[in-house]
Amino acid sequence: MKLQNNIILTNKLKGLLIFMSFILNIHSDRMKTRSTRESREAKHDDH
């Protein structure tokens, strides 16, 4: 019984880690696109 509870707990932790990494990946992708867009606009301003 205790072993089963440990497996459920580890599965929950794994799911949480995957969820967190997923959110962080989306956030970093948004930051990347925003920075590239800003650099593009800066290049346009030079012209």
DSSP secondary structure, 2-47, as one string: HHHHHHHHHHHHHHHHHHHHHHHHHHHHHHHHHHHHHHHHHHHHH-
Q: Which parts of the chain sit beneath pLDDT 70?
A: 1, 45-47
Rounded CA separation 27/31 (Å): 6
Quickly tell me which residue has 């606009």 as its tokens.
41
Rounded CA separation 22/16 (Å): 10
pTM (2 d.p.): 0.52
Rounded CA separation 44/47 (Å): 5
Residue spans of the domains in the chain: they are: 20-47
